[in-house]
Amino acid sequence: MKNYEYESQIIDYLNGHLDAQSKREFEHALQENSELKAMLYLAQQHQESIREQSQNDVTESVVSPSFAKFSEKLDPQKNSASHWMKLAAVPFAFAFVAVVSFTMKPVAVNEFETLTSEFEQYNVAALRVIVVSNDSVEGIVKDYNIQLLNHYPNAKAMDITGSGSLLSLQEKLDQDNRIIMVKALNE
């Protein structure tokens, strides 16, 4: 598992929601992954600060009448601890975002190839083959004893050449269920 995939497990672990097996697996991963340990530590610190802040808020609202809160706002010395806690939360938030963003799996953008009508120039006669699945490319190359000149995996296409007549090879390939289309490149 990648570190970003552990985020929900970290929360469940801290809240005691993991079953025994999942807890053992998570603790084993903690022993082997220092980045995961750092993420757990940050989450624990974050959870503790939230708990402390919520306890302070509850205590203040129950014990202190509203005029006492007003006087605290006027007296900055009394409110300095809360101010420092708020200041400490900002770097913690940046650190948490940095850890999460650096451990996230990069998302691929524009993973495609454009095949145009202008074909690559090869020194031999060649065919462009569009296949149903990239998994079938190796099998097709082996079955027809052809040479792979270029493979375009994102377009599910390949340029090939073979020994003998390319016209008869093209006719055979046209009959194969693994192939969508075959076109001669240098006609």
Instruction: Name residues of the chain where pLDDT drops below 50.
Output: 64, 108-112
96 shares its domain with 131: no
- The pTM assigned to this predicted structure is 0.39
Supply the pLDDT for residue 86.
64
143 shares its domain with 76: no
Supply the pLDDT for residue 11.
83
99 shares its domain with 10: yes
Q: Which domain covers residue 155, as residue numbers?
A: 127-184
Supply the pLDDT for residue 176.
92
Supply the pLDDT for residue 110.
44
E strands present in the chain:
127-131, 146-152, 157-162, 179-184
67 shares its domain with 20: yes
CB atoms within 10 A of CB 23: 15
Give the Cα separation of 60 and 67 in Å (integer): 12
The answer to whether residue 118 sits within a structural domain is: no
